[in-house]
Amino acid sequence: MRCTRTAASAALCIGAIGLVACGSGDTTTATTGTSTAPTTAIASSQVPSAPPSTTPSAPANPAGCTVGELTASLGNEGAAAGSTAFAVVFTNTGKRSCTLDGFPGVSYVQSADGQPVGAPAQRQSIAAGPVRIEPGEQASALVIAVNVQNYPAGQCNPTPVNGVRVYPPNSYDSVYLPRNGLACGLASVNSQLKIGPVVAGASGQ
Tell me whether residue 45 is in a domain: no
Contacts of 78 by beta carbon, 8 Å cutoff, 6+ apart: 84, 85, 86
Q: Are 96 and 141 found together in one domain?
A: yes
Domain co-membership, 10 together with 108? no
- Top pLDDT among 81 and 183 is at 183
Query: Do 29 and 116 share a domain, yes or no?
Result: no
Output the pLDDT for position 81. Answer: 84
Determine the structural domain holding residue 22 and report its residue range.
2-35
**Residue 50 in domain:** no
Query: In this structure, are residues 179 and 74 in contact, taking their beta carbons and an 8 Å threshold?
Result: yes
77 plus 169 within the same structural domain: yes
> Does residue 129 sit within a domain?
yes
Q: Work out the average pLDDT over 59-72.
A: 88
What mean pLDDT, rounded, does the chain reach? 80
> Is residue 104 located within the same domain as residue 196?
yes
55 within domain boundaries: no
pLDDT at position 119 over 70: yes
**pLDDT confidence bin for 3, thresholds 50/70/90:** very low
Q: pTM (2 decimals)?
A: 0.70
Query: What percent of the chain is modeled with pLDDT above 70?
Result: 71
Into how many domains does the chain fold? 2
Residue 60 lies in a domain: no
205, 196 Cβ separation under 8 angstroms: yes
pLDDT tens across 137-173, in order? 999 999 999 999 999 989 999 999 999 999 999 999 9
Q: Residue 192: is its pLDDT beyond 80?
A: yes
Residues 76 and 172 in one domain: yes
Confidence class for position 22, pLDDT limits 50, 70, 90: very low
